[in-house]
């Protein structure tokens, strides 16, 4: 009996223990449920508070969103200008938070706190102007004048999500600071009547259109920016933008263009031809993360610029950049300037990085520029290992080295400096090694272009075409297909287009010989008197193949002597058609007998000839028809003269005697 009671007591104790344990578990379950509920409430409250803080921060604080893509940038934003902007904007953030916390209940933990409070045609006060937002997402802005306007995205928390179109109903003048004016309206797609916006008195356009994530086209050709001094982050992260017209901008007073076009991923074209950068000092990250494919900023005046860090970093579509006119003498920060860009050709011939003395201000300048294959550097640029010029891998096409161009070309460099990237940064001396450097290519075997007839005989000098491995060639043009006299082009043997390789290649242009047509040339030979021009005998004709040589032998004409100097040449080549050759002759002198005048002339002539030719004149042969007429001999001529003189003296003496006798008789 005692044992039975003892067992019953033990059983009761066990039941009580189980009940206690179940009670404990139940209480713990209740406590755990309450704890989870409290935690969830606190988490919701924290998330909403964070959301509001982010909205407020985006309204004023200039903290570029590039940290997510490039953490290095966050460390680069500690310049004095950004620090002062952060300090100033932090005060504005507090005011925005306090104002919004009064207007909207964000601490209830209820998701309805983020619901749209806007009703159809609801109006809002905007610094004295009444805004109207209709249910179709159009924000109507009346005309008027406003100074240092509040950013629109802070007027109501629903604006960033609901405003799709901004329509100006009248002329609106903005004075002073237009920072973040339209920024962070993430659903905004268009402006209507934007020309009604007068910006002639605006001094700051910082963040003015920042983070318009759905805006694709923006035409600001009506903007007057003559008084604007800062345009930093003006279009920062407008990543849907494909067309931007800033061609009329007057930037003569602008000093800050940092982050101006940063994050415009889809903007491929940008006309900055009218930009005046004479007073700009800050260009950090100006084109960072932009989608620009071509960029002409060769006219930029950068002699006052001090910062160019991240200026072209992550420009993934920009292939070449001409910065040869950039004056960087005052630039102290060039860090990460071209980092992760896709630039293939870079001209920094005028760069002077002497002022960028700190390692932190030149580091990463070429980091991850894996496509940079041509770089032109001048005598004021100094390489440093911290610039991180990328390693070049050796391939079938490239040797893995840099080579200076020297007297060659970029395609076929002839320079003697052949270095790896690390060697280039270490060995380069600006005073002796300034030049254009290119990736050294493996030379290919020459391509020979030959010119042959159908029998394989060379008919013209071959042309040698040099090249590099995997370079393409094209010899199908008229430059190589020559016109050869006497031949007609027939065909090409070999590939006229292809790639150079390590094997010699030959392309042969084959020609057929033209049929030979024999042409006859005719000579007509005239025989004329050199004095009278009269024909001395009938012309003679002779013929020959065109191009062959002829020789004419003058015929003998009685009483005439051939005058070589007065005649056409006796040798030449037959020409196509008829050619006239004129041979001229001079008449010989003839003396007639019993003609004292002519005899006197002959005697005189004989005297003269006696002085120059002591040899007797050759007598004509019996065959000469006039050979019977003989000229007087020299001795005979002298005797005749003495005889005449004697008779003359006798006559004179007789006359003198008669004259004296007559005078004597008269006396």
Please answer whether residues 550 and 542 qualify as being in contact, where contact means their C-beta atoms are separated by less than 8 angstroms.
Answer: yes
Residue 528 belongs to domain with CATH number? 3.10.20.320
Q: What is residue 517's predicted lDDT score, i.e. its pLDDT?
A: 77
From 323, 321, 373, 396, select the one nearest 353 (Cα to Cα).
323
**Residue pLDDT, tens place only, 617-646:** 333 333 343 333 443 444 444 445 556 767
Task: Report the percentage of the chain scoring pLDDT > 70.
Answer: 72
Residue 569 falls within a domain, yes or no? Answer: yes
Q: Average pLDDT, stretch 494-517?
A: 94
Does 525 lie in the same domain as 470? no
Residue 423 falls within a domain, yes or no? Answer: yes
Residue 599: pLDDT above 50? no
Does 435 lie in the same domain as 452? no
pTM over 0.75: no
**Residue pLDDT, tens place only, 383-427:** 999 999 999 999 999 999 999 999 999 999 999 999 999 999 999
**Residue pLDDT, tens place only, 450-467:** 999 999 999 999 999 999
> What's the burial of 156, exposed, middle or buried (CB within 10 Å: 0-12/13-18/19+)?
buried
The mean pLDDT of the chain is 81
Q: Which of 11-25, 89-103, 134-148, 471-485 has the lowest mean pLDDT?
A: 89-103
d(CA 360, CA 364): 9
Does 551 lie in the same domain as 509? no
Does 352 lie in the same domain as 436? yes
Residue 376 falls within a domain, yes or no? Answer: yes
Q: Which of 229-238, 440-449, 551-560, 643-652 has the lowest mean pLDDT?
A: 643-652
Range of the domain at 486: 447-513
Give 17 or 253, the one with higher predicted confidence: 253
Q: What is residue 110's predicted lDDT score, i.e. its pLDDT?
A: 34
**Residue pLDDT, tens place only, 508-544:** 999 999 987 788 999 999 999 999 999 999 999 999 9
Q: What is residue 320's predicted lDDT score, i.e. its pLDDT?
A: 92
- Coil/strand/helix, residue 106: coil
Does 458 lie in the same domain as 409? no
**Residue pLDDT, tens place only, 102-112:** 333 322 233 33
Does 465 lie in the same domain as 420? no
> What's the burial of 177, exposed, middle or buried (CB within 10 Å: 0-12/13-18/19+)?
middle
The confidence band for 261, taking pLDDT boundaries of 50, 70 and 90, is: very high
The DSSP output letter for 411 is: S
Residue 387 falls within a domain, yes or no? Answer: yes
């Amino acid at each position: 009996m005692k044992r039975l009671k003892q067992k019953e007591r033990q059983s009761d104790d066990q039941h009580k223990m189980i009940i206690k344990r179940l009670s404990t578990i139940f209480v713990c379950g209740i406590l755990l449920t309450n704890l989870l509920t409290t935690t969830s409430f606190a988490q919701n409250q924290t998330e909403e508070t964070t959301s509001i803080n982010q909205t407020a921060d985006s309204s004023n604080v200039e903290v570029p969103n590039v940290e997510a893509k490039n953490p290095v940038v966050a460390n680069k934003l500690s310049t004095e200008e950004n620090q002062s902007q952060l300090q100033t904007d932090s005060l504005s953030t507090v005011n925005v938070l306090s104002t919004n916390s009064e207007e909207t209940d964000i601490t209830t933990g209820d998701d309805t706190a983020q619901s749209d409070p806007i009703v159809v045609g609801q109006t809002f006060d905007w610094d004295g102007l009444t805004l109207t937002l209709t249910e179709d997402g159009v924000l109507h802005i009346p005309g008027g004048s406003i100074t240092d306007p509040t950013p629109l995205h802070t007027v109501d928390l629903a604006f960033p999500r609901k405003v799709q179109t901004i329509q100006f109903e009248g002329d609106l003048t903005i004075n002073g600071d237009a920072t973040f004016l339209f920024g962070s309206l993430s659903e905004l797609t268009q402006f209507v009547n934007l020309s009604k916006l007068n910006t002639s008195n605006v001094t700051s356009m910082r963040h003015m259109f920042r983070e318009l994530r759905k805006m694709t086209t923006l035409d600001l050709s009506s903007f007057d920016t003559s008084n604007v001094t800062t345009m930093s982050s003006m279009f920062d992260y407008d990543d849907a933008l494909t067309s931007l017209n800033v061609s009329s901008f007057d930037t003569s007073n602008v000093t800050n263009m940092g982050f101006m076009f940063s994050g415009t991923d889809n903007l491929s074209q940008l006309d900055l031809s009218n930009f005046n950068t004479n007073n700009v000092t800050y260009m950090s990250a100006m084109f960072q993360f932009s989608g620009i494919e071509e960029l002409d900023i060769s006219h930029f005046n950068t002699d006052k610029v001090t910062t160019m860090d991240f200026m072209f970093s992550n420009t993934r579509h920009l292939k070449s950049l001409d910065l040869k006119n950039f004056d960087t003498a005052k630039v102290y920060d060039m860090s990460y300037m071209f980092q992760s860009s896709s630039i293939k050709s870079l001209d920094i011939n005028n760069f002077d990085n002497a002022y960028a003395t700190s390692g932190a201000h030149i580091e990463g300048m070429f980091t991850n520029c894996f496509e940079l294959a041509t770089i032109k550097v001048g005598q004021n640029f100094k390489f440093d290992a911290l610039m991180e010029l990328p390693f070049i891998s050796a391939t079938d096409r490239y040797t893995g080295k840099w080579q200076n161009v020297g007297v060659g070309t970029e395609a076929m460099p002839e320079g003697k400096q052949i270095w790896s990237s690390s060697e280039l940064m270490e060995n380069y001396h600006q005073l002796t090694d300034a030049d254009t450097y290119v990736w050294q290519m493996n030379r290919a075997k020459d391509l020979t272009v030959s010119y042959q007839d159908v029998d394989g005989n060379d008919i013209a000098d071959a042309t040698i075409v040099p090249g590099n491995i995997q370079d393409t060639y094209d010899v199908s043009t008229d430059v190589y297909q020559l016109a050869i006299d006497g031949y007609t082009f027939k065909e090409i043997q070999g590939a006229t287009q292809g790639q150079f390789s390590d094997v010699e290649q030959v392309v042969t242009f084959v020609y057929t010989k033209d049929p030979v047509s024999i042409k006859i040339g005719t000579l007509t030979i005239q025989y004329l008197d050199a004095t009278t021009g009269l024909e001395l005998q009938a012309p003679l004709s002779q013929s020959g193949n065109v191009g062959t040589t002829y020789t004419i032998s003058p015929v003998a004409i009685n009483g005439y002597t051939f005058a070589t100097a007065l005649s056409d040449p006796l040798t030449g080549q037959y020409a196509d058609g008829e050619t006239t050759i004129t041979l001229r002759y001079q008449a010989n002198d003839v003396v007639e007998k019993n003609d004292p005048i002519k005899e006197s002339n002959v005697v005189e002539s004989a005297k003269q000839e006696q002085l120059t030719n002591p040899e007797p004149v050759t007598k004509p042969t019996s065959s000469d028809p006039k050979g019977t007429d003989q000229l007087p001999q020299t001795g005979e001529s002298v005797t005749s003269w003495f005889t005449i003189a004697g008779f003359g003296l006798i006559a004179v003496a007789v006359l003198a005697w008669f004259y004296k006798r007559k005078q004597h008789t008269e006396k």
